[in-house]
Structure 1
Amino acid sequence: MSLLDTTFQLKARGTNVRTELLAGLTTFLTMAYIILVNPAILGQTGMPPAAVAAATCLAAGVGCILMGMVANYPIALAPGMGLNAYFTFTVVKTMGVPWQTALGLVFISGVLFLILTFAGVRKLIVNAIPRALFSAIAAGIGLFIAFIGLKGAGIVTANPGTTVGLGDLHNPNAMLALLGLAIIAVLEVWKVRGGILIGIVITSVIGWGLHLAQWTPQTYSVAQMTATAFQLDIPAAFGIGGKGLGLALVEILFVFVFVDLFDNVGTLVAVSTKAGLVQPDGTIPRLNRILFADATATVVGSLAGTSTVVSYIESASGVSAGGRTGLTAVVTGLLFLAALFVAPWAQAIPAAATAPALILVGSMMMAPLADIEWKDPVVAIPAFLTLIAIPLTFSIANGLAFGVIACAILKIAGRRIGREDWLLLVLAVLFVARFAYMAAA
């Protein structure tokens, strides 16, 4: 028995080294956009984009490797898209908090995650979520990432009359994405191993040949990361220094902790369900190890110079390519670390090549809906609200909030509430408070 098999239990999970390598590469390709997008967003705070690019690669690399080695799950980590926008546009640009102080708040939130994890609080919260909502979350995120893929490809666009509408299918990028969608779909029908990855590569080659990949080389070196590394201001994040930001800092910290917690829960449930790693009773093995990995990655990210690190739903693409163990995450992490040296080259993969993968993975994530008891309104209504709210509000946390609140209300109305549901009620109250805070902000 090989060392890799012993470490990651490859045979026990019905996989092999080749499949895991392909799955790790597939996951990396579908989420490598963060290397470019994160610096573009955080750079608007005044942070040097090249330094943020390096910090992004380092935080993602460390997070993925921790997830693989400590928890043995095929889940990849990287700076979260929603939280980087909140960091930039709300915390820094609207509230006037210096980016160094904002990084200090990210660090504190990461430490709080670790404390909550060791205390078992995060595990309790995950286990309090009704099993039917797990299935709805998985499918809702499937719709979510499919929508992201359709939007990224230009197949679906904004429309002032109907909110969304059909894009210009004569656009070369949209046509390339549709071709890539057909290629990957056919490969899946033929049950070709690594079909998603092969489809991405074929579509990329076609895109390069047609000069559809937009790439502008920029001056860059790993040493530039020092411009953001260890620049966080922890005393200011605690309100030390009399800058009059005490209450505002508490509110920011609350959002960092709250949104990260529930976005991670949603992604964790979706990917674990897709990989068949959830137990028959609905529990997730080694849950605290998973939560430890993402909390530690957030701490590392804040020290390197980037916003909160979260579990990425794009991990589902690697799972669809056959990834079942932490080796998939380790491979993804090593690729992120390698990207430290070539970060600007990541945009050589055209968006039209990765968009079809997201669309196909989204379709594959509809299967858990069959496990929901749709004839029972106490189960069906919260599940439907979760399913539909995730893509339409562009937020996993919002979908989960609607589902939990509806579930608590209907359980009380149907007199099906029990003592074991106390934490569900607490979560419902917290989600109501979250919506109230968002409305007042």
Structure 2
Amino acid sequence: MPGETSAFGSAGASAGGLLDRRFALAARGSDVRTEVLAGVTTFLTMAYIILVNPAILGQAGMPMAAVAAATCFAAAFASILMGFVANVPLALAPGMGLNAYFSFTVVQQMHVPWPVALGCVFLSGLAFLALTLLGIRQMIVAAIPPHLFAAVAGGIGLFIGFIGLKDAGLIVANPATFVALGNLRSGDAALALFGLALIAGLSVWRVRGAMLIGIVATTILAALLGRLGAPTQPYHPAELAQTAFRLDLPAVFGWGGGAGLGLFEILFVFLFVDLFDNLGTLVAVTRRAGLVDAEGRVPNLKRMLLVDSIATMVGACAGTSTVTSYVESAAGVQAGGRTGLTAIVTGLLFLAAIFVAPYARLVPLAATAPALILVGALMMAPLAEIGWSDPFDAIPAFLTVALIPLTFSIANGLAFGITAHAALKVVRRDVRRGDWLLLLLAALFVARFLWLSAG
């Protein structure tokens, strides 16, 4: 029917024209087909978080099915909002590193109940929103030297890798040497080594979705070997309610038996790491997409940071740790994504994944551990930016990198790095008027260490 074909074609052209005007596709040298393919590419490269995030937060006592659904919902909401508000090909999801800090440090070491920890995540997002609106963000960025940003990223990478090696059974506790090589002939260690080899090989061949493929393949192998637990009951989307709106804000301030002022340290770490990790990702992805101006500035940066802060608050309400921008978005940019339509497609795919994601509880730690190891390895790249031959840079950076994994605390690494940097500035007589915030932070960290020692 010619008329119908013409009408269909006109409707398609009209829709394409609407998307072109809304997202400036032609102006950025893109089209709808390219943006859709780029969105699918981004989703495949970061879909591993659907399985890994519940595996990490589940060790904090959170219900894995609900966390998986919350992970998908938070990633979908944040990515779609980023696409519409900032019009950049940047996808978001619960961040690696901060989920480990949430589970292993805040809940397990500090004995903070996970609803209270979710309250801290929410308040850190609110603080991020206030700092962005008030312009204080620039002051904080200027107070911390770039080599400490790189050291924090590298330290978190080692932290994540260490957790992955532990979950895989490749390293175990030892009373004489603290840690030692595990039994490589055990079932879990062998499965993890298989997954590690598979993901590494696929990554070398630059296969999209290498981590997701490796996790699924290792899970299937575990099932074939009889090392996979059977589901106890069918999944229902209503399981999201087990974590939704379970955050405990009053306890963050010490009301109703909460931990009180000690939780403000947790707020600082959530805020600090999200702030600088997010800035680094935003700059890297937008630069690769050719979206920076002639002076190297990122257009719509304030909108991007506003979306990030709102996404963290929504994620905490859904039941997951801090939501942040993902550097895997660069894969979509490499595939041609240039506008927010890429992020929206990625978000829609995460939304569709909600209905199958909670089956992540069936995935064994031996399958997700290799992904943690590989993510940790990839996070080592920023360490190349540190001037290791200069003691002024190397000493604070080393303390930061080493103490994050060795004390199982991002807070301790940050505290030692910032304090050491401030102390060396004083020793070198290089303190300037603009360093007041750095010195204040260092003094607060010293007071923190004295307080912890007294306790």
C-alpha spacing 1:255/1:145, structure 2 compared with 1 (3 Å):
same
C-alpha spacing 1:27/1:385, structure 2 compared with 1 (3 Å):
same
**1:32 alignment partner, SS class:** helix
Distance 2:360 2:27 in 1: 29
**2:431 alignment partner, SS class:** coil
C-alpha spacing 1:437/1:216, structure 2 compared with 1 (3 Å):
farther
Distance 1:196 1:32 in 2: 10
Matches within 5 A, 1:33-432: 33-35=52-54, 38=57, 41-43=60-62, 54-55=69-70, 57-67=72-82, 69-70=84-85, 72=88, 73-77=90-94, 80-83=99-102, 86=106, 107-226=122-241, 229=244, 250-251=260-261, 254-265=264-275, 267-268=277-278, 271=281, 288-304=302-318, 306=319, 309-311=322-324, 315=326, 318=328, 333-334=347-348, 336-432=350-446
Distance 2:133 2:184 in 1: 51
C-alpha spacing 1:253/1:288, structure 2 compared with 1 (3 Å):
farther
AA paired with 2:387?
A: E
Structure 1: gaps (5+ residues): none
AA paired with 2:322?
A: V
Deviations 1:76-123 (A, max 9, x none): 226834335636885766xxxx95x88666655543332233112234
Deviations 1:200-228 (A, max 9, x none): 44434433333333342335433355566
Q: Is the aligned partner of 1:28 residue 2:28?
A: no
Residues 127 and 271 in structure 2, CA contact (< 8 A), matched pair in contact too: no
Residues 54 and 64 in structure 2, CA contact (< 8 A), matched pair in contact too: no
Distance 1:282 1:135 in 2: 20
Residues 195 and 367 in structure 2, CA contact (< 8 A), matched pair in contact too: yes
Distance 2:247 2:375 in 1: 37
Distance 1:421 1:141 in 2: 26
C-alpha spacing 1:217/1:191, structure 2 compared with 1 (3 Å):
same
Query: Residue 150 of structure 1: CA displacement?
Result: 1.4
C-alpha spacing 1:61/1:189, structure 2 compared with 1 (3 Å):
closer
C-alpha spacing 1:179/1:56, structure 2 compared with 1 (3 Å):
closer
Report the equivalent of 1:433.
Answer: 447
C-alpha spacing 1:300/1:402, structure 2 compared with 1 (3 Å):
same
Distance 1:148 1:8 in 2: 45
**1:80 alignment partner, SS class:** helix
Distance 1:367 1:234 in 2: 37
Residues 60 and 309 in structure 1, CA contact (< 8 A), matched pair in contact too: no
Percent pairwise identity: 48
Residues 24 and 323 in structure 1, CA contact (< 8 A), matched pair in contact too: no
C-alpha spacing 1:401/1:224, structure 2 compared with 1 (3 Å):
same
Residues 27 and 332 in structure 1, CA contact (< 8 A), matched pair in contact too: no
Quick check: 378-387 or 31-40, which moved more?
31-40
Query: Residue 437 of structure 1: CA displacement?
Result: 4.5
Query: Residue 133 of structure 1: CA displacement?
Result: 1.6
C-alpha spacing 1:115/1:30, structure 2 compared with 1 (3 Å):
closer
C-alpha spacing 1:105/1:207, structure 2 compared with 1 (3 Å):
closer
Residues 156 and 404 in structure 2, CA contact (< 8 A), matched pair in contact too: yes
Deviations 1:161-180 (A, max 9, x none): 21111111001221122122
Structure 2: gaps (5+ residues): 1-15
**2:25 alignment partner, SS class:** helix
AA paired with 1:262?
A: F
AA paired with 1:35?
A: P
Distance 2:234 2:108 in 1: 24
Quick check: 180-189 or 104-113, which moved more?
104-113
C-alpha spacing 1:76/1:113, structure 2 compared with 1 (3 Å):
same
**1:76 alignment partner, SS class:** strand
Distance 1:131 1:89 in 2: 29
Larger Rg: 2
Query: Residue 157 of structure 1: CA displacement?
Result: 1.7
Distance 1:104 1:384 in 2: 32
Aligned residue pairs total 421
Query: Residue 421 of structure 1: CA displacement?
Result: 2.6
Residues 178 and 356 in structure 1, CA contact (< 8 A), matched pair in contact too: yes
Deviations 1:52-83 (A, max 9, x none): 66555534543454456546434422683433
Distance 2:48 2:402 in 1: 27
Distance 1:102 1:191 in 2: 37
Residues 72 and 353 in structure 2, CA contact (< 8 A), matched pair in contact too: yes
TM-score by length of 2: 0.74
C-alpha spacing 1:439/1:6, structure 2 compared with 1 (3 Å):
farther
Quick check: 122-131 or 219-228, which moved more?
219-228
Deviations 1:13-37 (A, max 9, x none): xx97545523423322145233355
Distance 1:434 1:257 in 2: 14
**1:311 alignment partner, SS class:** strand
Deviations 1:123-153 (A, max 9, x none): 4323422111222222222222222221221
AA paired with 1:171?
A: S
